[in-house]
Structure 1
Amino acid sequence: MTSLPRNNHITPIAEAEIPQGNQLFPVFLKLNQLHTVLIGGGNVGLEKLTALLQNSEQATVSIVAEQILPEIYELTANHPQIKITQKSFSENDLDNADIVIAATANNVLNEQIRQAAHARKLLINVADKPALCDFYLGSIVKKGDLKIAISTNGKSPTVAKRLKQVLAENLPNELDTTLQQISALRNTLTGDFASKVIALNKVTASLVDPKPVKKKNFKWLIWGSIIFALAVALTALWYNEPGFRMYAENIHPTFYYFLGAGFVFAMVDGAIGMSYGVTSTAFSLSMGISPASASMAVHLSEIMSNGIAGWMHYRMGNVNWKMFKLLIIPGIIGAAVGAALISSLEHYAMYTKPLVSVYTLILGSVILSKAFKTAKKKSADKIKRISLLGLGGGFIDAVGGGGWGSIVLSSLIAGGRHPRFSLGTVKLTRFFIAMIGSLVFLTMLNGAPWSAIAGLIIGSALAAPIAARISNRISVKVIMVAVGIIVILVSVKSIAGFLMKVL
Structure 2
Amino acid sequence: MRTLILLALAGLGAQLVDGSLGMAYGVTSTTLLLAVGTNPAAASATVHLAEIGTTLVSGASHWRFGNVDWRVVAKIGVPGAIGAFAGATVLSSLSTAVAEPAMSLILLALGLYLLGRFTFVGFSSRNLGKPLRKRFLSPLGLVAGFVDATGGGGWGPVGTPAILASGRLEPRKVIGSIDTSEFLVTVAASIGFLAGLGSEGVNWTWAGALLLGGVIAAPLAAWLVRHVPPRILGSAVGGIIVLTNTKTLLGSDWIGAGGAVSTTVYVVLYAVWAAALAYSVREHRRNAAREREEEAAAAAGTDVKEGAPSA
TM-score (norm 1): 0.46
| Counterpart check, 1:268 vs 2:17 | yes
Corresponding residue for residue 67 of structure 2? 318
Is the 2:23–2:157 contact (alpha carbons within 8 Å) kept by the matching residues of 1?
yes
SS class of match (1:300) = helix
Residues 1:278 and 1:377: Cα distance change in structure 2 (over 3 Å): closer
| Counterpart check, 1:450 vs 2:204 | yes
Is the 1:267–1:471 contact (alpha carbons within 8 Å) kept by the matching residues of 2?
no
Q: 1:373 aligns with which of 111, 116, 120?
A: 120
Residues 1:377 and 1:367: Cα distance change in structure 2 (over 3 Å): closer
1:489 positional shift:
0.7
Q: 2:173 aligns with which of 405, 414, 421?
A: 421
Is the 1:335–1:398 contact (alpha carbons within 8 Å) kept by the matching residues of 2?
yes
Corresponding residue for residue 437 of structure 1? 189
1:468 positional shift:
3.7
1:233-312 to structure 2, matched below 5 A, reads 251=1, 253-312=2-61
1:305 positional shift:
1.3
Corresponding residue for residue 408 of structure 1? 159
Q: Structure 1 counterpart of 2:90, which letter? A: L
Corresponding residue for residue 459 of structure 1? 213
Residue-by-residue CA offset, 1:19-77 (whole Å, 9 max, x unaligned): xxxxxxxxxxxxxxxxxxxxxxxxxxxxxxxxxxxxxxxxxxxxxxxxxxxxxxxxxxx
Q: Structure 1 counterpart of 2:6, which letter? A: Y
1:442 positional shift:
2.1
Q: 1:476 aligns with which of 221, 224, 230?
A: 230
Q: Aligned partners of 2:16, 2:252: CA distance in 1, in Å?
A: 30
Q: Structure 2 counterpart of 1:422, which letter? A: V
The percentage of counterpart residues that share the same residue type is 36
1:296 positional shift:
0.9
Residues 1:377 and 1:297: Cα distance change in structure 2 (over 3 Å): closer
Is the 2:11–2:214 contact (alpha carbons within 8 Å) kept by the matching residues of 1?
yes
| Counterpart check, 1:349 vs 2:121 | no
Q: Structure 2 counterpart of 1:414, which letter? A: A
Q: Structure 1 counterpart of 2:139, which letter? A: L
Residues 1:448 and 1:491: Cα distance change in structure 2 (over 3 Å): same
Q: Aligned partners of 1:322, 1:472: CA distance in 2, in Å?
A: 22
Corresponding residue for residue 396 of structure 1? 147
Q: Structure 1 counterpart of 2:122, which letter? A: A
Is the 1:354–1:495 contact (alpha carbons within 8 Å) kept by the matching residues of 2?
yes
Corresponding residue for residue 110 of structure 2? 363
1:487 positional shift:
0.7
1:130-169 to structure 2, matched below 5 A, reads none
Q: Structure 1 counterpart of 2:182, which letter? A: R
Q: Aligned partners of 1:337, 1:492: CA distance in 2, in Å?
A: 27
Corresponding residue for residue 293 of structure 2? none
Is the 2:73–2:177 contact (alpha carbons within 8 Å) kept by the matching residues of 1?
yes
SS class of match (2:251) = helix
1:351 positional shift:
1.4
1:453 positional shift:
1.7
Residue-by-residue CA offset, 1:186-243 (whole Å, 9 max, x unaligned): xxxxxxxxxxxxxxxxxxxxxxxxxxxxxxxxxxxxxxxxxxxxxxxxxxxxxxxxxx
Residue-by-residue CA offset, 1:100-123 (whole Å, 9 max, x unaligned): xxxxxxxxxxxxxxxxxxxxxxxx
Q: Aligned partners of 2:46, 2:160: CA distance in 1, in Å?
A: 22
1:355 positional shift:
1.0
Structure having the larger proportion of residues in helix: 2
Q: Structure 2 counterpart of 1:467, which letter? A: A
Is the 2:22–2:178 contact (alpha carbons within 8 Å) kept by the matching residues of 1?
no
1:11-410 to structure 2, matched below 5 A, reads 251=1, 253-345=2-94, 348-375=95-122, 379=126, 384-410=135-161
Bigger relative contact order, structure 1 or 2, given CA contacts below 8 A and separation 6+? 2
SS class of match (2:235) = helix
Is the 1:254–1:451 contact (alpha carbons within 8 Å) kept by the matching residues of 2?
no
Q: Structure 2 counterpart of 1:386, which letter? A: L
> What CA RMSD, in Å, does the superposition of the two structures yield over aligned residues?
2.3
Residues 1:272 and 1:375: Cα distance change in structure 2 (over 3 Å): same
Corresponding residue for residue 488 of structure 1? 242
Q: Aligned partners of 2:237, 2:12: CA distance in 1, in Å?
A: 14
Q: Structure 2 counterpart of 1:433, which letter? A: V
Q: Structure 2 counterpart of 1:326, which letter? A: K
Q: Aligned partners of 1:308, 1:407: CA distance in 2, in Å?
A: 22
SS class of match (1:498) = coil
Q: Aligned partners of 2:137, 2:75: CA distance in 1, in Å?
A: 6
Q: Aligned partners of 2:221, 2:57: CA distance in 1, in Å?
A: 11
Residues 1:477 and 1:424: Cα distance change in structure 2 (over 3 Å): closer
Q: Aligned partners of 1:344, 1:337: CA distance in 2, in Å?
A: 11
Residues 1:318 and 1:478: Cα distance change in structure 2 (over 3 Å): closer
* Most deviating of 393-402 and 455-464: 455-464
SS class of match (1:385) = helix
Q: Aligned partners of 1:449, 1:486: CA distance in 2, in Å?
A: 24
Larger radius of gyration: 1
Residues 1:423 and 1:500: Cα distance change in structure 2 (over 3 Å): closer
SS class of match (1:397) = helix
Q: Structure 1 counterpart of 2:164, which letter? A: I
Q: How many residues align?
A: 250
Q: Structure 1 counterpart of 2:244, which letter? A: V
